Amino acid sequence: MLKGSNWPRITVVTPSYNQGQFLEETIKSVINQNYPNLEYFIVDGGSTDNSIDIIRKYKDKIDWWVSESDEGQGDAINKGFTRATGELLAWINCDDVYFPGALRTIGEAYLTQPGASIYVGGIALGREGNGPINTCHLPCSWPWEANFGLLRIFQPATFFNREVCNEVGKLRRDLYIRMDGDFIYRLVKARPKIVNINTLVAFFRRHSASKSTTAVQRILKERQEFLQSLGHPRWKLAMALCLSRFLRLWNGVYLKSWLVTRHYRGKYMREIWAGIK
């Protein structure tokens, strides 16, 4: 068993704003990882609900937190990453949750393959705010896909090599929804090595107030602008998409994801955590 200092330090940042109904579960999923070399920050944007009370409840387990106005999610994450001392960086939004053992899974992957730009695990999705798991997706991405905007990367289950982060710079504050996609694209272009981990790492919560629900048109707009910036004609993007899907079918990731979904569908994250002794 590795001692604490032998595990790579992982810095996790939670950007927070008025999601008190979910925040406590997020915090507990981080601090209860029992990962021996964790650095945990919470950057709150000046919440007016019960978020601050929840943060104070766990302040002894949080390395640093602040509540102040900011310029959005990207700005909040940048504040945390600027303070980070970990070899690996990640953010978990205040309405998402880590699976038990997620950080050890990532730490082990880094120890065996330390030169990658990103380490990405599988993700489970819930249909409602506090609802059960509905579908699961295992990662399968190749660096060449970055050239066509096809990286199948699940942000809540993704961890970034700090060395490469320092090379590419901060998250863009002008992007409302695709700051993660843009950041990952720059990381993979700078160092085209991805470690795919076939284990569920995070739970993505869909709910009525989430960006993925309330900002569909902005999502589409930012996505289209990104694809246009790549400079490829539509036929080439379509061909790349077909190849990408064929390769995922060929290597069995769709089947594996379906099997994992069968196992977890209908289960609640609180039940999964309750089963950990």
Question: Where do the structural domains in the chain lie, given as residue ranges?
Answer: 4-274
Convert the pLDDT of each residue in 131-141 to its tens digit: 789 999 999 89
List, in order, residues 6 or more apart from 190 with CB less than 8 Å away.
117, 164, 167, 168
How many whole angstroms separate alpha carbon 225 and alpha carbon 29? 35
pLDDT of residue 61: 97
How many whole angstroms separate alpha carbon 246 and alpha carbon 120? 21
List, in order, residues 6 or more apart from 150 with CB less than 8 Å away.
240, 241, 244
pLDDT at 33 over 70: yes
Are 22 and 50 in contact by the 8 Å Cβ rule? The answer is: no
pLDDT of residue 245: 94
Lowest mean pLDDT among 28-42, 112-126, 206-220: 206-220
End-to-end alpha carbon distance in the chain: 18
Convert the pLDDT of each residue in 45-85 to its tens digit: 999 999 999 999 999 999 999 999 988 899 999 999 999 99
Superfamily of domain 4-274: Spore Coat Polysaccharide Biosynthesis Protein SpsA; Chain A (3.90.550.10)
Instruction: Give me the mean pLDDT over the 156-168 stretch.
Output: 97
pLDDT at 1 over 60: no
Q: Is this model's pTM higher than 0.75 or not?
A: yes
What string of H, E and C letters represents the secondary structure of 96-134?
CEECCCHHHHHHHHHHHCCCCCEEEEEEEEECCCCCCEE
pLDDT of residue 124: 96
pLDDT of residue 84: 98
Instruction: Give me the mean pLDDT over the 14-40 stretch.
Output: 96
Convert the pLDDT of each residue in 221-259 to its tens digit: 888 888 888 889 999 999 999 999 999 999 999 999 999
